[in-house]
Structures are given as structure tokens and as C-alpha cells.
Structure 1
């Protein structure tokens, strides 16, 4: 006689429903919702870009201020998430397969999961294939900040390059001037324009932070010969000009660092707000899917 195994107690309970063999995920509805979300997001971003161009103006005291433009961008970002993922989540909830073997709380969970899958799939597709506006802006801001930081670190060298022509050529010109420098600086006056040589000497002094004694002695005599003034007055002029050059280089370095820091803070703030908007979009898609699911089951 064949022995039969007893039926487990959990299988005998009428409150426990055994799920179907197939998956409870309606991938067709999820994919349709993700496509709708991506299309609406792209459309709204393009529209927001047009509104942004209308709001700004190259003319002074016209158009929106920088603060207003930034706030408007963030508001539009949240509006985009609300509209795109609200519609996409609702459509996915309406299109999903009707579950006849699940209880109310299980249906609510599945609808929420479908909305979240719509958001996740749309976000992944946008990041991989299209690139999101948030990623583009953050990347551009980061590159700008890095560029400004590099400018700040090399601000003194930049001033030197502007004065002397810049680069290795300037250094070689300075060495050439040193080799061909006459014993009597007055002879250099009669050989032509001495301003390029003076520029190279001053540029090197600004880059190194000080003027060498040899260059200082030479410039004092050269200024005295060119301007026809005593060496004491020439020394005073040289000290004054050198101090102004160093101060200008320090101001440029400070301004570049401040600009880099402002760009860093702006990029960080936008990244955090973009992160919040993405979470908002996930919530909207999940909630809208439950509304669409309830309408589907009516």
C-alpha cells in the first residue's frame, strides 16, 4: 500500500495563497513606463532649457539674477520628476497584469515595486545611453572648478607668462639676456628697445618671488640710464614696480582660488539637490503606480 505524506499545516491554511509559477513582474508595463519617463524627461528638460535662455540676458540689469536662475533650475528639475515619473508610474500601474491570486497588501507592494522599477530602469537607460542633465552639469562644474583651481595654483606663473611671452621660450630668453648683458647698462640703451628684456627680468622675479641681486643692480643702472635719473630714484621706482607686480600676482591667485571654491560649493549644492530630486522621482513613480494599479483593478 502506497504511503502518502501529510499535508503541511501552512498549506492547509486558507489565508495562505500560493503564488503562480510565473513572475509577478509585468516587464512590459515596466518598460513602457520607463520609455515614457525618459521621453517626458527629455522633453521637459529641453523646454526648461528654452525657458532658461529666455530668462537670462547678456545686458546689465536685465534678465534673471544668478540666484533666481539657480532656484528656477532646481524647481524645474523637481517639476520634471513630478510630471515624468507621475505619468510613467501611473501608466505602468494601469498596464500591468491583473493579479487574482494576491491579497490587498501584496498588490500594493507589487504596484509600488513596479513604479520603482520604472524609475530605476529609466534612470539607468538615461545614464548609460543619453546622459542626464544633472551629470552633465556636475561634470562641467567640476571641470570648471579644477580649471580654476589650476589657475589659482599657477597664477603667479600666468602673470609672468603674460609679461614675458610665457613658457620655456621666456626662460631661454632670460638666460640669453644674461649671457649678452653688457657690463655697462648704458650700452644696452643704445642697442634698441630694452623693454622686452626688462619685462623678462621682472616676470622671472615675480615667478620666483624675489629679484636677484644681479638683476636688481642691472635694472637700477638700466633705469637710471634710460630715464636719466639718479640710481637712488631708479632703485625707488624698481622697488615700487616690483611690489605692484607681486601684489597683482597675489590678487590674481586669491581671486582664482575664491572662484574655484565658489564653483566647488555650487557643484556640491547642485549634486545634493539633484540627488534629492531623483529620490523624489522614485517616490512619485512608486506612488503613481499604486494609483494606476487600483484603477486597473476596479
Structure 2
């Protein structure tokens, strides 16, 4: 059986409201997070970040020139990009944090240290919302920065494979065509007897000569491309190619074989240089990707700190 609440003198007076403690409890149970202020600050920070990034891209592209020795260097462009990203995070995060602190509700029952903590949390949450929104809009940019390090290894393997196969190939022997042509260069110091004998030979149909020349060139190109450029050319291939070179240039068999060996060594050196360049380019891309990721991390930390600090200023002005 429920007993009626006893009434005192104050509760029976006209116009007096009974204070049962429910109003105070409901006020304390209210949420300490002003999501509307956080969303407003995050949206403002994301919009300002986008504007500043677009401005930075425009300034960066205008400083790059296609002409040699004109415009900024790659080092200067990279340093300016890092500085601009940091400035963008600082300004945009400070703006978002300040708005989040200034637009939040006023906490009447909170102590000073609790208000400071809540303002800091509001600034941090506004920065988090802004960062997530910016990352969603700039997914391709973030992916290119993070994925650059992973692609560096593939660049090394791809560059080494291309270099080992003699780079690009076509029907005429590809990059080996130059070395094949050097094999058939006539030696001006060839002995006169060979030249005289060649002069006494009856003329041959030019079409037949061209067919034989093209066949020999294609054959030598196939031999060089089929061989493993990291190992010496087999002796039987050296002998056979030397015979073809001797027939075309008037050199002795020994001199022709020596020319084949020297030319093949030059081709191997060219392949090693191409592989070294590919590895150096891949390593440079890996280092650039790692540096960009580290500085992006630093700029985001600066943005989080600025947003949290600015929110405390905004909240202080809100309560003033």
C-alpha cells in the first residue's frame, strides 16, 4: 500500500514547486558531448583542408616548368609540399576545433578541469571527423602515398627483368639491333688481299644479297637475345657468329670472334647499367614514399594538437 508523501509548510504554499530532486538528476544525466558542434567543426575543417590542398596543387604546378633548368627542383618541390601540408593541417584543424568549442552547449554543473577536458575532447573529435571526411574525398592521393612503398619492390623486379631480357624487343632485334650492326661494320684496316679478291668476284643480284644480309642479322639477333646476358656467350655461338661476321666484313676468323666477344661484353655491360638504374629508381621511390608517409603522420599529429588547443579557446569564450 502506497502512503502519500507528507507535505510540509513550504510545499503547501501557493506558487511553490516541490523539488523532488528529479530535475537535478536529469540535468546530470545529459550527454557531455555536443555532436552538433563536433559535426560543424569537422565539416568546416574538411572544407578548409580541401580548399587549401587545391590551392597548394595550383601553386605547385605553376612552379614546375617543362623547360630545362627552369622552375623549382624536385627537392624544393618536395619540401614545399611538406610545409604546405603542415600549414593546411594547422589552419584547418584550428578552425574546426575552435568552432567545436565555441558552438557546444554550456555545462553549468561541470568543474573547470572537467570543462577543459571536454573542450579538448570536442576539438579532437572534430579533427577526427574532418580527417575521415578528407581521407574519403582524397582516397586516391592517400593510396598513392601509402602504396608507393609497396610498388617499389615490384619496380625493382620489373626493371631487372626488363634489363635482363635486353629491354624492349621487336622484329629487328630490339635494343640488340645496335650491337648486331656493330658486328657488321667493315674494318678499314682489313688486309688488301681480301678487298682485291672481293673486287674480282662477279656481281651478285642485290636482292639476293639483301635477303642474305637480313637473314644473317635476324639470326645473330636471335642468338644474342636467347643467350643469358649474365653469362658468357657459348663457344659454338661465338664461332658461328664469327663466321658470319668474317664473311661480311673481310676480317679473319680469329678477329671476327674477338669482335663478337667484345660486342657481347658491351651488351652485358649495358644490361647491368640498366638493371642498376632500375634498382636505384625503385629505391628512390621507396625512400620518397616513406618520407611522405612520415611527414603526413607528423602533420596529422600537429592538426590534432591544434584542434584540441583551439577548442579550449573557443569553449572559454563560449563560457565568458
Q: TM-score of the superposition, structure 2-length normalised?
A: 0.75
Compared CA separation, residues 99 and 133, structure 1 to 2 (3 A): farther
Q: Find 2:282's aligned residue among 260, 263, 288.
A: 260
Tell me the residue number matched to 2:164. Answer: 157
Tell me the residue number matched to 2:81. Answer: 73
Q: Find 1:213's aligned residue among 207, 223, 235.
A: 235
1:212-249 Cα deviation digits (max 9, x unpaired): 23322211111111212110110111011000000000
Moved more, 151-160 or 212-221: 151-160
The answer to whether residue 269 in structure 2 is matched with residue 247 in structure 1 is: yes
Tell me the residue number matched to 2:212. Answer: 191
The CA RMSD measured in Å over matched residues stands at 2.7
Between the aligned partners of 2:283 and 2:165, the Cα distance in structure 1 is 19
The answer to whether the 8 Å contact 1:155/1:249 transfers is no
The alpha-carbon deviation at position 160 of structure 1 amounts to: 5.4
Between the aligned partners of 1:45 and 1:206, the Cα distance in structure 2 is 50
Q: TM-score of the superposition, structure 1-length normalised?
A: 0.81
Count of residues in correspondence between the two structures: 264
The alpha-carbon deviation at position 156 of structure 1 amounts to: 3.0
Tell me the residue number matched to 1:99. Answer: 107
Greater Rg by CA = 2
Tell me the residue number matched to 1:49. Answer: 57
Higher helix share: 1
Moved more, 59-68 or 44-53: 59-68
5+ long unaligned stretches in structure 1: 3-16, 168-186
Compared CA separation, residues 157 and 198, structure 1 to 2 (3 A): same
Tell me the residue number matched to 2:184. Answer: none
The answer to whether residue 254 in structure 2 is matched with residue 222 in structure 1 is: no
Compared CA separation, residues 219 and 163, structure 1 to 2 (3 A): farther
TM superposition outliers: structure 1 runs of 4+ over 6 Å: 163-167, 187-190
5+ long unaligned stretches in structure 2: 3-24, 175-207
The alpha-carbon deviation at position 198 of structure 1 amounts to: 1.1
The answer to whether the 8 Å contact 1:134/1:274 transfers is no
